[in-house]
Structure 1
Amino acid sequence: MRPYCTAVIMAAGKGKRMGTDISKQFLPVCGKEILAWTVEKFEASPSVDEIILMAGKEGREEVQELCDRYGWKKIRQVALGGKERQDSVANGLELLSAQTEVVLIHDGVRPFVTEEMIRESIEGALSYGGCVIGVPAKDTIKVCDKNQMAVETPERSTLWQIQTPQTFQRELICRAYEKAKADGFLGTDDASVAEHMGRQVYVAKGDYRNIKITTKEDLVIAEAFIREEKA
C-alpha cells in the first residue's frame, strides 16, 4: 500500500531577478502561467494525494483564481507564505492533513518535474528518510572570497546541483523545521534543514531540464521545452 503524499508547492516569491512587474510564477509561457504548468504535474500524478499552495500576501488571490479557473481537485488549501522560503515551508508543514506520511516540497516555478522524479523522490524518502532531486555539476565550481578571488576549486565529481522536489517522511521534516526554528538556523534548502538536525539526505538523479525559471533567459528555454513536449 502506497503512502499518503502531500505536495507543498512554493508560490510566494516575488521573483526580483526576473525584472518584471508580475511575479514570475504568474508569467505566461505558451499560453499558461508557469505556476499552472507546475501544479498540473502534481495534479496529474497518481503518487500525490493532495496539494498545499503557499502564496504571498499580494499574490494569494491570484493563486486562488488559478485554482478556480483550472478546476484543480487536489488543492487542500491556498495558504499564506512567510518572509523567507523557509518560513513558507514551515507554514505549509503546519497545514498537513492527519493522514500525510510523505511530504514533497517543490518550487512553483519548476514546471518540468516529471512523474518519474516524483515517484523516485518518494521512494528515496521512504528508504532514507529524505531524498532530493539533483544533477551532477557540468561546470567547474570556484569558491571565491569577498573580492571575487578564487580560493578553492572543489572536486567536480562530488558536486551536484540540487533541484526539487525535496521529499521527506513527515515526522523527520517536521522535527527538522522545529529544530531550525529553535536554533535560529536558516538553511539554503529543505535538505540543509534536515542536515542541521544531523540527518543525511539521499540525492536521486533528476534531469537538466528540471530548471527553476528565474531569469528572462529561462523563459526562452522554458518555451522551447514546452513546444518540444507538445510536438
Structure 2
Amino acid sequence: MRTGAIILAAGTGSRMKSDVKKQFIPVGGKPLIWYSLQHFTEAGADDIILVTGEDDIEYCRKMVSDFGFDRVRKVTAGGKERYDSVYRGLCALEEQGYGGKDIAAIHDGARPFADAEIIRRTFADARNCGTSIAAMPSKDTIKISRKLEDGTYEAVSTPDRSTCWVIQTPQTFCFERIKKAYDGIYADPELQAGVTDDAMVMERVLGVKCRLTEGSYRNIKVTTPEDLMIAAAFLRAEE
C-alpha cells in the first residue's frame, strides 16, 4: 500500500493583493509552498504530485530541484476550478500506478502548518477507515444565514456548536474511492455546483460520511495579508 500526496498550488491568490502568487510568497526565507512539500516529505509520503498554474510549472520544477524534494514525481498544470486541479493530480498518481487500497492525500499548498504529525494521523485513519479529513471543533458560534433582496444577510438559525467542526486539509482517502468520486463529478456537471472540498465530493457522489481527524488551530489557510502576518508570527515563535 503506497501513500501519495497531491499538493495544490494553482490558485491566483487575488485576495492577497500581491504581485506574487500567495503560494510563492517568501515566508521565513522560503516560498510558502516549501512548507507543505517539506512536511509531506517528513511524514513519509512515497510520491508527491505538485499541481500549479500553467505559467508556474518551470518555476516549481526548479524550486523542487533546488530544495531536493526527490519525492515529487510530477509538476502538472491545474485547472479552472479546485476540483479540476484535484482530478489532474489524481490522474497523475494513477499514472504512477496508484489504485485499489493505496492512499491519496489532497492538501491546499496555502496551509503551511499542516505538519508531519497531522499528515500521519490522516494517513493512519484513511488506512483504517478509507477516509480522513483534518478538522478542529469550531471555537465560534455558527449562524446559518440567508441573503436579502437588498444584498445584506440575516441569521436564520444557529446549529449546536458542539456538532460544528472547521474543516482543513489534508483530506486523505483510499485511492479507488476518491478517484471514483471524482470520476462521478466529471460524469455529471450538475454535481459540480458549490463543491469546496474533497469530502464534499465523497458525500455528494458516493454518499460516504468521512472520518474527522484532529488537525490543529495553527493549520490556517493563508489567503489574505492578515493571514500572512499570522504565518510569519508562527514561524518566529518556532525559532
Match of 2:57 among 40, 52, 60: 60
Question: What secondary structure is seen at the aligned counterpart in 2 of 1:110?
Answer: coil
CA RMSD between the two structures: 1.1
Aligned to 2:132: 131
**In 2: Cα distance, 1:60 partner to 1:23 partner:** 13
Aligned to 2:14: 16
Match of 2:26 among 25, 28, 53: 28
Give, in angstroms, the shift of residue 99 of structure 1.
4.5
Aligned to 2:115: 114
Which of 187-196 and 54-63 deviates more?
Answer: 54-63
Aligned to 1:198: 207
Match of 1:90 among 87, 112, 130: 87
Q: How does the TM-score come out when normalised to structure 2? A: 0.92
Q: Mind listing any 5+ residue stretches in structure 2 that lack a counterpart?
A: none
Aligned to 2:42: 44
Contact 2:122 2:134 in 1 (8 A): yes
Letter of the 1:219 counterpart: L
Letter of the 2:73 counterpart: R
Give, in angstroms, the shift of residue 204 of structure 1.
0.7
**In 1: Cα distance, 2:223 partner to 2:166 partner:** 15
Q: How does the TM-score come out when normalised to structure 1? A: 0.95
Equivalent residues in 2 for 1:131-210 (5 A)?
Answer: 131-147=132-148, 148-184=153-189, 185-186=191-192, 187-196=195-204, 197-210=206-219
Query: Which portions of structure 1, spanning 4 or more consecutive aligned residues, are displaced by more than 6 angstroms?
Result: none
Letter of the 2:19 counterpart: D
Letter of the 2:2 counterpart: Y
**In 2: Cα distance, 1:143 partner to 1:35 partner:** 33
Cα 1:145–1:99, aligned 2, differ >3 Å: closer, same or farther? closer
Question: What secondary structure is seen at the aligned counterpart in 2 of 1:145?
Answer: strand
**In 2: Cα distance, 1:37 partner to 1:178 partner:** 30
Cα deviation digits, residues 73-97 of structure 1 (max 9, x gap): 1010000101001000001111112
Q: Mind listing any 5+ residue stretches in structure 1 that lack a counterpart?
A: none
Give, in angstroms, the shift of residue 45 of structure 1.
2.1
Contact 2:132 2:213 in 1 (8 A): yes
Question: What secondary structure is seen at the aligned counterpart in 2 of 1:58?
Answer: helix
Identity value in percent: 44
Give, in angstroms, the shift of residue 28 of structure 1.
0.6
Aligned to 2:104: 103
Question: What secondary structure is seen at the aligned counterpart in 2 of 1:83?
Answer: coil
Cα deviation digits, residues 118-152 of structure 1 (max 9, x gap): 11101111222111000011111111111311111
